[in-house]
């Protein structure tokens, strides 16, 4: 099980000695991270977030910092990493990767309005226009390529059958190549910041990869259009309309969007099962995956023609 890092004031001051950020004025531990120990710090030069990565290797964080640097070149609204005095984007802290980023003021909105969803879709499409940066994985880290990790595990047998059955349906439906590109992979509502109602940043690019763009849109529908664990077709309409204002989906993508929303839910359920039953067993969280299995079932239960006509009702008339 991951052991989270607790930083004292002296620890932080020692770390800041490697940066050009001035004297530490105050610091506040931040809640919410599942794989990081983060602290908001205020120095003479401004506000920052210092993160110790408890479950990532140094190579993974170097790639993450490279990804964020790439996005900065395109002025994409996300985290800006701060260099050390030696020009490094990440450092080793007691055997764990550490990096510092500029603090972005904003709030997480759990129940998103149609206008906010439209904006999320538009920004996601703009991400998909950026060329993938070097080093990105060519697959999604907890996608169908990983489902066989549960094969042969007796406690997971029924769940694995669900995943395996879906994978067969997905493979059969992909009769033509789908566009790939720079995808976020984990765009849930809590990875999006708003200020005064406007989107100011997408966060947490640790799962970024060079993968199917329609998967990213499907995953975002799971992460942003399921209030109270209920899939909302109406909210998905707003998300997709915003997306298509910037990038029009191809016919094959439209046809397979519903299947990729289901894919996003099942991939998330797989991550939760693996995380809380195998990698970091947690009795209280071990059945957490079932909520996403239910969302996948809800999506699958919608008539495919109804889904397409509902989601693309406006764009089909233009």
- The residues of the chain that CATH labels 3.90.1200.10 are 114-317
d(CA 102, CA 149): 37
- φ and ψ of 40, to 5 deg: -85, 130
What pLDDT tens digit does each residue of the chain (318 aa) get?
Answer: 456 788 999 999 999 999 999 999 999 999 755 568 899 999 999 999 999 998 889 999 999 999 999 999 999 999 999 999 999 999 999 999 999 999 999 999 999 999 999 999 999 999 999 999 999 999 999 999 999 999 999 999 999 999 999 999 999 999 889 999 999 999 999 999 999 989 999 999 999 999 999 999 999 999 999 999 999 999 999 999 999 999 999 999 999 999 999 999 999 999 999 999 999 899 999 999 999 999 999 999 999 999 999 999 865 544
What is the radius of gyration, based on Cα positions, of the chain? 20
d(CA 196, CA 218): 27
d(CA 247, CA 245): 6
d(CA 194, CA 108): 6
CA-wise closest residue to 310 among 247, 259, 235, 256: 235
HSE-CB of 142 using CA atoms within 13 angstroms: 19
pTM: 0.94
Alpha helix stretches (DSSP H) within 143-250: 157-173, 213-224, 233-244
Question: Residue 85: what pLDDT?
Answer: 97
Return the CATH fold of 114-317.
Aminoglycoside 3'-phosphotransferase; Chain: A, domain 2 (3.90.1200)
Q: Residue 262: which H helix or E strand, with range?
A: helix 251-273
Would you list the DSSP string of 21-87? ---EEEEEEE---SSEEEEEEEETTEEEEEEEESS--HHHHHHHHHHHHHHHHTT-SS--EEP-TTS
CATH class of 9-102: alpha beta
- For residue 102, the cross-strand partners are 48
Evaluate whether 45 touches 110 at the Cβ level (below 8 Å): no
Question: Residue 318: what pLDDT?
Answer: 45
- The residues of the chain that CATH labels 3.30.200.20 are 9-102
């Amino acid at each position: 099980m991951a052991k989270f890092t607790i930083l004292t004031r002296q620890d932080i001051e020692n770390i800041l000695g490697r940066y050009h950020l001035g004297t530490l004025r105050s610091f506040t531990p931040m809640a919410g991270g599942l794989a990081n120990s983060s602290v908001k710090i205020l120095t003479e030069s401004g506000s920052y977030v210092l993160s110790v990565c408890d479950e990532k290797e140094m190579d993974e964080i170097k790639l993450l910092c490279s990804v964020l640097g790439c996005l900065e070149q395109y002025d994409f609204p996300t985290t800006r990493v701060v260099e050390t005095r030696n020009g490094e984007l990440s450092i080793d802290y007691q055997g764990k990767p550490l990096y510092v980023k500029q603090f972005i003021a904003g709030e997480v909105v759990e129940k998103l309005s149609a206008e906010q969803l439209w904006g999320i879709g538009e920004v996601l499409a703009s991400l998909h226009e950026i060329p993938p940066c070097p080093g990105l994985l060519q697959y999604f880290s907890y996608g169908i390529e990983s489902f066989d990790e549960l094969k042969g595990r007796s406690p997971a047998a029924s769940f694995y059958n669900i995943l395996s059955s879906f994978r067969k349906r997905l493979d059969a439906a992909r009769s033509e190549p789908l566009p790939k590109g720079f995808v976020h992979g984990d765009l849930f509502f809590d990875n999006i910041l708003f200020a005064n109602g406007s989107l100011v940043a997408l966060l947490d690019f640790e799962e970024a990869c060079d993968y199917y763009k329609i998967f990213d849109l499907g995953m975002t529908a799971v992460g942003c259009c399921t209030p109270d664990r209920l899939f909302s077709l109406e909210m998905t309409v707003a998300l997709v309309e915003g997306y298509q204002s910037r990038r029009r989906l191809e016919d094959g993508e439209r046809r397979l969007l519903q299947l990729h929303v289901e894919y996003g839910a099942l991939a998330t359920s797989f991550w939760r099962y693996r995380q809380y039953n195998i990698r970091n067993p947690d009795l209280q969280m071990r059945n957490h995956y079932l909520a996403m299995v239910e969302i996948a079932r809800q999506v699958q239960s919608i008539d495919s023609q109804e889904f397409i006509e509902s989601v693309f009702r406006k764009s089909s008339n233009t």
